[in-house]
Amino acid sequence: MASIQKHGNKWRVQVYVAGVRDSTTKPTRQEAAQWALEREAELKGAKLPDRTLLDALRRFADEESSKRAGEKWEVLRLRSFEREGMADRRIAALAANDFADWRDKRLTQVKPATVAREMNLLRSVFEVARRDWRWIRENPMKDVRWPKTPKGRARRITPDEERDITAAFGLQDELSATTATKRVGLAFLFAMETAMRSGEILAMTWPNIHLDTQFVHLPKTKNGDSRDVPLSRRAVEILRALPLGFGPVFQLEADDRDALWRKVRDRTAHRSIHFHDTRAEAIWRLSKKLDILQLARVIGHRDLKSLMIYYDESASEMARRLG
């Protein structure tokens, strides 16, 4: 264990490992702590590699992000981290207080949910650096307190709202995929039937869709697992309205889907509806037909507790079921 004490206008640091004592002075406590970490490693015969946080961010982006859902967001955020002042520091010298200070500063700029998401990414970077690359011995993020985040949104979509939005996309009478706008409307209806996320829907390709046996295989999902999603008769009808091809079934990019959704939705009186609200509504509807284990498997939730925000049934409704 290192001893660090103020000595005049400098910091004196001492280490003692296996009967060997060494000491020095550094201009700052941070530099003293870094020296102690490196010197202890040398005396133990296990010096850590001379790598910076910048090295870790870039290697993670190159080797790990492509394996994970949300690759585009991750890479952009990792590049943003590169501009942080601590990016040039040696990764093994970074401590929890460095990231606690960064967290507090970041909370003045963005919402707590965004900070929590960024912290989860940093924790993953450090964990890979510790477990796989052996660049550090401990993950500094484990001792950083996460910001409190608001309860997840679980807005219901009423039958009237669904009808109005369907009409706004021109799909009330016939399922048609002749324009990108109509395909966004079909994606909305498909999400209401399956509880699939927008990214999962836009990534679907025909080889993974099995209309005869009514399911779609998702080889890569948000949590990294694959899963099979059952298709209702209505979901099959929606897919049959789409043209066959070799690329994504809905032939939409995420940005186009978002822009067209907002444009059409804003023509209605329901501007508070987000495309993602289809997931909460669809999960609630599926909960009436599937038991909780089946539901978790269909929507890809590992933690059954996380499903509770989607169970929006009053006590009186449950009482009618009991008889």
- pLDDT tens digit sequence for 154-211: 688 999 999 999 999 999 999 999 999 999 999 999 999 999 999 999 999 999 999 9
50 vs 304, which has greater pLDDT?
50
Same domain, 113 and 165: no
Task: Answer whether residue 148 is part of any domain.
Answer: no
Amino acid letter, residue 135: W
* Residue 61: predicted pLDDT: 93
User: So which residues are the catalytic ones?
Assistant: 197, 222, 276, 279, 301, 310
Phi, psi of 218 (to 5 degrees): -105, 105
* Residue 67: predicted pLDDT: 78
* Residue 313: predicted pLDDT: 64
Task: Answer whether residue 149 is part of any domain.
Answer: no
Task: Answer whether residue 151 is part of any domain.
Answer: no
Domains: count for the chain? 3
- Condensed to tens digits (0 to 9), the pLDDT of residues 258-285 reads 999 999 999 999 999 999 999 989 998 8
Same domain, 104 and 186: no
84 vs 67, which has greater pLDDT?
84
Domain with 94 in it: 53-143
* Residue 293: predicted pLDDT: 83
Same domain, 291 and 189: yes
Q: Which of 85, 117, 143 marks a domain boundary?
A: 143
Same domain, 108 and 226: no
* Residue 35: predicted pLDDT: 78
pTM attached to this predicted model: 0.63
Q: How confident is the model at residue 122 (pLDDT cuts 50, 70, 90)?
A: very high
Same domain, 185 and 116: no
Dist CA 202 CA 152 (whole Å): 23
**Maximum CA pair distance of the chain?**
84
Same domain, 39 and 59: no
* Residue 194: predicted pLDDT: 95
Dist CA 192 CA 186 (whole Å): 10
Same domain, 134 and 265: no
Whether the CB-CB separation of 222 and 300 falls below 8 Å is answered with: yes
Task: Answer whether residue 16 is part of any domain.
Answer: yes
Instruction: Tell me what the mean pLDDT of segment 296-303 comes to.
Output: 79
Tokens read off for 65? 């992000």
Amino acid letter, residue 261: W
Task: Answer whether residue 105 is part of any domain.
Answer: yes
Task: Answer whether residue 231 is part of any domain.
Answer: yes
Q: Which of 154-158, 214-218, 225-229 has the highest mean pLDDT?
A: 214-218
Task: Answer whether residue 137 is part of any domain.
Answer: yes
Whether the CB-CB separation of 33 and 97 falls below 8 Å is answered with: no
Task: Answer whether residue 26 is part of any domain.
Answer: yes
Instruction: Tell me what the mean pLDDT of segment 137-157 comes to.
Output: 84
Dist CA 192 CA 165 (whole Å): 12
Tokens read off for 245? 């091809």
Same domain, 36 and 13: yes
19 vs 145, which has greater pLDDT?
145
* Residue 221: predicted pLDDT: 76
Check whether 91 has a pLDDT greater than 80: yes
* Residue found under tokens 């807005």: 155
Same domain, 130 and 176: no
Same domain, 137 and 227: no
Same domain, 304 and 164: yes
* Residue 139: predicted pLDDT: 93
216 vs 35, which has greater pLDDT?
216
Same domain, 76 and 212: no
* Residue 224: predicted pLDDT: 67
